């Protein structure tokens, strides 16, 4: 039976990593834009990103654009692999659940 990654299997982090997976490994997204897409508070998003960062699934970089500090977030190759494994496990578990019900 496949296991669901507990770092990903929580609504806020699942939404965050799904969005970052769409942004792609070769891109990074401004924290403010990510926050807008996810409709989360800055504090809440930071908390969940830190958990994903601790697991090595995302990187958070701070930079200066003009005179304004900006934070960018990107999914790592490990994050992409973990997300793909999570999706696969979810699919398998749902299929098993359906088979058991029928």
Partner 1 sequence: MNSAKKATESSRQFDDEPPLDLNEALGVVAEAEKRARRELRGNGAWVYLLWALTWFLGFGTLHGSRNGWIPVEPSTALVLFGLLVAAGVGATIVIFGRQSRGIRGHSTFIGGFYALAWILGFAVMGVLSSAIGVAVEGFWLRGMLINGIAILIVGLLYITGGTTFNDVVQVVMGVWFLVVDIASIIAGPEHFLTVFFIFGSGGFFVGAAVQALRQRRGPVNA
- Which residues would be at the binding site for partner 1 (CB under 8 A)? 1-7, 9-12, 14-15, 18-19, 22-24, 26-30, 32-33, 36-38, 47-48, 51, 72, 74, 87, 89-91, 93-94, 97
Q: How far apart are CA 11 and CA 28, in angstroms?
A: 21
What does the DSSP 8-state code read for residue 24? Answer: -
Give min distance, CB of 3 to partner 1, in A. 5
Q: Which is nearer to partner 1, 11 or 67 (CB)?
A: 11
- Dihedral sign from CA coordinates of 100, 3, 78, 70: positive
Beta bridge partners of 65: 68
Give min distance, CB of 91 to partner 1, in A. 4
Q: Which is nearer to partner 1, 51 or 80 (CB)?
A: 51
Question: Are 73 and 20 within 8 A, CB to CB?
Answer: yes
């Amino acid at each position: 039976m496949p296991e669901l990654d507990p770092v990903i299997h929580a609504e806020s982090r699942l939404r965050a990593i799904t969005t970052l997976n769409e942004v792609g490994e070769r891109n990074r997204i401004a924290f403010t834009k990510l926050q807008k897409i996810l409709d989360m508070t800055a504090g809440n998003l930071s908390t969940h990103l830190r958990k994903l960062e601790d697991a090595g699934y995302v990187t958070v970089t701070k930079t200066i654009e003009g005179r304004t500090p900006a934070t960018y977030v990107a999914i790592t190759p490990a994050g992409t692999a973990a997300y793909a494994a999570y999706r696969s496990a979810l699919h398998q578990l749902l299929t098993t659940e359906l088979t058991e019900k029928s």
